[in-house]
């Protein structure tokens, strides 16, 4: 049901049966410059993708393949790889080495081998591949992404938090003397589609709890990106919300200078004036998680507490869109010289 | 952020601040043949619609008007009126009399004066206006809608239930000797945006209950449309689900003949083979409410119970999309000679 | 933390780690006539039950045993067996044969071998054991339960539906000429604690769908109990609500005589005047699912639709309490000559 | 349905129709030393409380009074006042001056006049009355509460946060040099029963957002209680969870000394060894919000982040129980020389 377009890019999704993959399919099916030519899951496939995912009947007509690198590379100009970390990077590397443009949505290509080992407790992919991958945060690496053939799509938490903190880091206001405390909350789709006790509605409904306290694997990519500007330590607390989608991050920052909320707001407005997906709220207004649902927006709210001097940055995304598939499509657009917002202009679904 | 289009229709939404209105704005903002030229709410407005609805910042730029019929008619070729029943029909009539194409989303123009009085407990609009309005169920009145200048958009429950029952009625299988029992469940947005105790999350969360038992005002429009083919009595039980969106209707039908599920399925497949938004599930498969969320689809599942002979028709829609705004856009497309699916092709948001 | 009591009954729970088992532990820990002496799960145990279930720390102090029939029988006067159907009945039989009073919460002992095979698709337990088991619906079999040593605790759906329909059946008003249509909805804990895709919050949240259409295994026990009074066919439609607890059943009945709602109400009031856990709502009032949460109540609402003559019986329980553990404790009380409401008098948790 | 008890205390609830009041009624109805003799709401009453609150039918039999101080004082030995802040303190004062034992659940009597004016933006009650009121946090003021006749029941956020922070403050580990950052989340019942847009399920479902940022009125009572031991500034961020009940507070603390998690854990274990409602989790384990639901427990988890040295204190309560009604009953028990846990021993309702 997509609009015709001259010379569409033939695109594939590997890992199409996970939540990130399904969101990619939803977005790519409506993308005017994409022809969706290859869908593969982690297991055996069949002739009709919608047999497993009836919500997409009438939206796409495609088989679900068992992944085969050669077939994938033959049918696609560009491939989104959305497999679990530990499997995804290797597949991405293989397709990239076959000359395809690749966007990897996993954590496998975001940080160097030593950090990967330390935080993922697993052997990394070939360091040469990792080094070749551009960190795909478009608001901050637009030019490099435009020239990239391999992109490491940022983590969902990292996206919200970096968009919230980078303006302070770049401006030199973020003090290395104080750790940045980030209290972040995520909907359950961030935990993937495999059923577990933690994602069982009987357990999570009317519930709320942290997980991976002080040990979340998005920490190093946040510190790495901030580290281009300031040596900052981040304490990331990740918590599970009893909802399907959304990330709400509150970052507590002690500046190394006095600044009122007007100055902070001016900094963010200036920083993001050309970023179509970042919406900075006026002082005194807080973003709501549902205001970005299903969209590629990141909403940011800013407070400066007069009693303590602490700056609070509220940053909100849909973890499956700006935090995964939407941002991947944004990267795809940049890599192919297309308008950054193409296929991503739909408004959030509220309510 | 909409795509340019030659000679777009200037469209307005009156009642843009309710849930149906907000969904209209979301859909129309992305509609390639629409220029959104007028938004009015039920109360005073202001220069920036997104001041009240920040989720639409970056999606639309428009003032929120206090409704003025003359200004509205001047700025719009077509107007969607989504005010509460009791107010909406009068506004629709006024704009229609000024020569505009009008789609009224309320219950005010769907049934004749006597039924309106009996079920809505209120005085109807001018019967001449009501008679001029075409009942906007596109799958069944496509031709009349294409010629209409005034459309009464069906009720959300009525849409799901009629799409589920009309194939049986038209085929002559629906027996007038037995009432059709419809057990229907709706998300809370169907109850409108005005806060009440029933819609308070503290009350409705982890809850479920019926309301307006045997007295729901969508009953007469269901019986009216079925009545074009068979004299059927419908007992409609409406119930509130603790979710935001979606309608799940289960219709229990005693046929006047023997029919196995294969025959019933064949009937529905044939009936809806040219209906782009109706998806009929193969026997043995049930639709899920979330599989249509945010989309204009109506999913239908069919069972025939061998022990009792009862046919169960499961029909599912998003109450704000196919049950309100999406169907209104579908009607708008037909009224303007546009492709029926224009602006409505986005896949459901799952999860 | 329970109150001391002369000569408390030593009670055990086998299957204490499932949802029904956990609710049993919650209720028995506060029961003044019970000493909780044995807890076993389906897998290996450990010295501290609250290691797995920290919500019970400070409430109970007990090990979690790997089930051993001899040890269980030695330590307990009475045993609740809450294992999955297919395993539970055999364990219940074994403990009963060792001379213990046993209440089995599974479906294994509720219906004769032929019905069991047909609906459970599995071999039944020894028919002699099944025959010895009393169907534990206290409102209808109080005397037999009081003398029983083996009780088959009713299914959760069956409890709500039978309490809703039996007054009509006993009064002879329920016509065998028409099937009884039951549209029933359940919270997800009814599906057990094992994680599946259907119970994943990412899938079920904002969702609603039927399952086991026309094939739910509670059907035969409903027909069996109604069948003591009238030959009735029941079409049971079971559906999953995106909440943790609660069952809402709507039964549609065509009477074999005219009756207004006042007469129906009078019948129910009279029938349940000595039933401490059944609350019959006055005509015009509907029960809410959350009004019984965490309690042993069954709330009933009654409507007679004048246009179709159909009677609607709304019956509501907490599936884990009156639908499982609470009713089991009620049976336990009767079997031990204790007041029926002992340990069950706590009010529902609303909100 | 309560157990008889020699010389029960005649107790009343003013503000019985709010969420705190309803929870009081639920708890007091099952309290063995209480006779519930007076219930008043904020509006006109009627002969049957359960007409408005059918979930309590069969649990209590009582009229709902329009509040009258003389009648209330005559019928009650002790009164719980659970009206909104701004109204509650005055009523509490009046009843106390008539010689009744009074527990006020509002914020009116917790802080001195100047702080009250600054944070509540309203005129305080008579300072003499405020001064007479004992701050009812039993774990820390047990002796003073036992002698009190007027108790100011702590705020829900304050309860969770103070139980989480006081051990550090008393031990002298909490440094005045760093603000304590508290990221707290609450279920919607904390916002009261009056319907608003923020509490509308259509808005809050699948949503999450902060409110009263840096301005929450529980801040001064937290600083006041900490201030008995250390001059600490608290930045409290309060956020709305899309659930009915529960508070999850994460307090970020920079100690003025090095301490590993074992030392912190030992401090908390020692501090709360005689507190029946405080459960301290072993290092490495996080509490879950649902593990305290419906109970009077406060669960505490402790982490020390090695990379930043920051201590994280996770503290969790049910806002209506330990955060309001349960704590009020705990205070009532102490004031009347009853066992602290009387009527509060029920286990949490999980799931």
The 3-state secondary structure of A264-291 reads HHHHHHHHCCCCCCEEECCCCCCCCHHH
For residue B294, the distance in angstroms to the closest alpha carbon of chain A comes to 7
Chain A closest CA to D97's CA: distance in Å?
38
- Tell me which of A72, A76, A156, A298 is the catalytic residue: A156
Residue A109 burial by Cβ neighbours in a 10 Å radius (0-12, 13-18, 19+) = buried
Q: Which residues of chain A does CATH 3.30.360.10 include?
A: 157-317
In percent, how much of chain C has pLDDT > 90?
95
For residue A259, give the 3-state DSSP assignment: coil
Of C40-54, C216-230, C241-255, D47-61, give the lowest mean pLDDT range.
C40-54
Question: B206: cis peptide before it, omega within 30°?
Answer: no
Query: Is D197 at the interface with chain A, CB within 8 A?
Result: no
pLDDT in tens, B284-315: 999 999 999 999 999 999 999 999 999 999 99
- Nearest C-alpha in D relative to A235: D308
Chain B's closest residue to D186, CA to CA, is B202
Average pLDDT over chain A, rounded to an integer: 96
Note the pLDDT of residue A2.
43
Chains contacting B (3 or more CB pairs within 8 Å): A, C, D
**Candidates D1, D55, D345; nearest CB to C348:** D55
pLDDT tens-digit readout, A202-241: 999 999 999 999 899 999 999 999 999 999 999 999 999 9
Question: Which positions 226-255 of A are in contact with D (Cβ < 8 Å)?
Answer: 233, 235, 237, 239, 241-246, 248, 250, 252
CA distance C276 to chain A (A): 29
Picking from B22, B277, B287, the nearest residue to A350 by CB comes out as: B22
Which CATH code, of 3.40.30.10, 3.40.50.720, 1.20.120.140, 1.10.1510.10, is assigned to A9-153+324-336?
3.40.50.720
Q: Which of B 320-349 lie inside 8 A of A, CB atoms?
A: 320, 341, 345-349
Q: Which residues of D are catalytic?
A: 156
The chains found to touch C (3+ Cβ pairs under 8 angstroms) are A, B, D
ipTM of the complex: 0.96
Question: What is the tens place of the pLDDT at every residue in A6-65?
Answer: 689 999 999 999 999 999 999 999 999 999 999 999 777 899 999 999 999 999 999 999
Q: Per the CB < 8 Å rule, is A183 touching D307?
A: no
Whole-number pLDDT of residue B334: 98
Could you tell me the pLDDT band of residue B28, with boundaries at 50, 70 and 90?
A: very high
Residues C248, C156: contact at Cβ < 8 Å? Answer: no
B348: pLDDT strictly greater than 50: yes
* Structure confidence at residue D42 (pLDDT): 73
CA pair distance B321, D175, nearest whole angstrom? 55
Phi-psi group of D121: left, alpha or beta (phi > 0 → left; psi -120 to 50 → alpha; rest → beta)? left
| Closest-approach residue (CA) in chain B for C253 | B181
Tens digit of each residue's pLDDT (9 = 90 or more) over A71-108: 999 999 999 999 999 999 999 999 999 999 999 999 99
The pLDDT of residue B44 is 76
pLDDT at residue C43, as a whole number:
73
Return the structure tokens found at C311. Answer: 């009677």
> Taking 50 as the threshold, does the pLDDT of residue B3 lie above it?
no
Tell me which chain D residues have a C-beta less than 8 angstroms from the C-beta of A197. none
Token code pair at residue D207: 């949503």
CB spacing of A213 vs D252 below 8 angstroms: no
**Measured between alpha carbons, how far is residue C346 from residues C329, D7, D25 in Å?**
13, 22, 11
Confidence band of B42 (pLDDT split at 50, 70, 90): confident
> What's the CA gap between D104 and D331, in Å, rounded?
11
% chain B with pLDDT above 70: 98
Tell me if chain D has a CB within 8 Å of the CB of A176. Answer: no
Say yes or no: B312 contacts chain C, CB-CB below 8 A.
Answer: yes
In B133-195, alpha helices (H) = 138-147, 156-170
In the block, tokens 């469940």 appear at: B185
Residues of chain D with pLDDT under 50: 1-5
**Shortest Cα distance from B12 to chain D (angstroms)?**
24
Q: CA separation (Å) from A72 to A52, A246, C319? A: 21, 31, 49
Cα distance between residue D24 and residue A10, in whole Å: 64
pLDDT at B6: 61
User: Residue range C5-31: average pLDDT?
Assistant: 94
Q: CA dist D171 to A42, D226, D279, Å?
A: 54, 11, 19
User: Distance between CA atoms of B201 and B207, rounded to whole angstroms?
Assistant: 9
Q: Mean pLDDT throughout C208-231?
A: 97
Question: Catalytic residue positions of C?
Answer: 156
Report the gap between the CA of A351 and the closest CA in chain B (Å): 7
Active site residue B156: yes
Residue in A closest to D206 by C-alpha = A243
Of A245, A289, A303, the CB nearest to D213: A303
pLDDT at residue C6, rounded to an integer: 61
Confidence (pLDDT) at B256: 82
Residues of D in contact with B206 (CB under 8 A): 244
SS (H, E, C) chain D: CCCCCCCCEEEEEECCCCHHHHHHHHHHHCCCCEEEEEEEECCCCECCHHHCCHHHCCCCCCCEEECCHHHHHHHCCEEEECCCCCCHHHHHHHHHHCCCEEEECCCCCCCCHHHHHHHHCCCCCCHHHHHHCEECCHHHHHHHHHHCCEEECCCHHHHHHHHHHHHHHHHCCECCCCCEEEEEEECHHHHCCCCCCCCEHHHHCCCCEEECCCCCCCHHHHHHHHCCCCCCCEEEEEEECCCCCCEEEEEEEEECCCCCHHHHHHHHHHHCCCCCCEEECCCCCCCCHHHHCCCCCEEEEEEECCCCCEEEEEEEECCCHHHHHHHHHHHHHHHCCCCCCCCCCCCCCCC
Q: Given this model, what pLDDT does residue B24 score?
A: 98
- Residue D283: predicted pLDDT: 96
Whether the pLDDT of residue A168 is over 90: the answer is yes
Token representation of residue D217: 């009125």
Nearest-CB residue to C213 (from B243, B286, B307): B286
Question: How many CB atoms neighbour CB A149 within 10 A?
Answer: 15
CATH topology of domain D157-317: Dihydrodipicolinate Reductase; domain 2 (3.30.360)
| Helix axes A326-335 and A19-29, enclosed angle (nearest 10) | 50
C-alpha distance from residue A94 to each of A14, A101, A150, B119, C322 (Å): 12, 11, 11, 66, 57
Q: Does A133 touch chain D (CB under 8 A)?
A: no
Question: Which two structure tokens, joined as six digits, stand for C342?
Answer: 């002992």
In degrees and rounded to multiples of 5, residue A325 shows phi and psi of -65, -40
On whether the CB atoms of residues B15 and B22 are closer than 8 A, the answer is: no
Per-residue confidence (pLDDT) for residue D6, from 0 to 100: 60
Say whether A22 and B54 touch across the interface (CB within 8 A): no
- Residue A29's pLDDT is 97
pLDDT band at C4 (very low <50, low <70, confident <90, very high): very low
Provide CATH 3.40.50.720 ranges for chain B.
Answer: 9-153+324-336
Instruction: Determine the average pLDDT of the residues in A139-143.
Output: 98
Under an 8 A CB cutoff, do D290 and A207 touch? yes
Measured between CB atoms, does A4 come within 8 Å of chain B?
A: no
For all residues of chain C together, what is the average pLDDT?
96
């Amino acid at each position: 049901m997509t609009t015709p377009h001259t010379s569409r890019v033939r695109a594939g999704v590997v890992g199409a049966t996970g939540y990130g993959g399904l969101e990619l399919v939803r977005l790519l099916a409506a993308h005017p410059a994409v022809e969706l030519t290859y869908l593969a899951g982690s297991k055996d496939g069949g002739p009709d993708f919608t047999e497993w995912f009836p919500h997409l009947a009438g939206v796409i007509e495609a088989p679900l393949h068992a992944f085969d690198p050669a077939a994938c590379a033959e049918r696609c100009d560009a491939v989104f790889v959305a497999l679990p970390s530990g499997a995804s990077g290797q597949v991405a590397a293989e397709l990239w080495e076959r000359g395809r443009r690749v966007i990897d949505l996993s954590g496998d290509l975001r940080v160097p081998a030593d950090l990967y080992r330390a935080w993922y407790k697993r052997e990394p992919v070939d360091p040469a591949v990792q080094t070749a991958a551009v960190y795909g945060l478009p608001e901050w690496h637009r030019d490099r992404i435009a020239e990239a053939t391999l992109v490491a799509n940022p983590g969902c938490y990292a996206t919200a938090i970096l968009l919230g903190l980078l303006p302070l880091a770049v401006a030199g206001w973020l003090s290395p003397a104080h750790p940045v405390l980030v209290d972040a909350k995520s909907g359950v789709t961030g935990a993937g589609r495999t059923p577990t006790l933690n994602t069982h509605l009987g357990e999570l409904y009317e519930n709320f709890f942290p997980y991976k306290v002080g040990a979340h694997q998005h920490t190093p990519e946040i510190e790495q990106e901030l580290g281009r500007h300031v040596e900052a330590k981040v304490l990331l607390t990740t918590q599970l919300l009893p909802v399907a989608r959304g990330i709400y991050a509150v970052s507590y920052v002690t500046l190394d200078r006095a600044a009122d909320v007007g100055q902070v707001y001016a900094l963010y407005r200036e920083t993001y004036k050309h970023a179509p997906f970042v919406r900075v709220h006026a002082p005194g207004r807080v973003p709501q998680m549902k205001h970005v649902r299903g969209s590629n927006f990141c909403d940011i709210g800013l407070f400066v507490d007069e009693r303590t001097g602490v700056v609070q940055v509220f940053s909100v995304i849909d973890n499956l869109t700006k935090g995964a598939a939407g941002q991947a499509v944004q990267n795809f657009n940049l890599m192919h010289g297309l308008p950054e917002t193409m296929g991503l202009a739909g408004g959030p679904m509220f309510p």
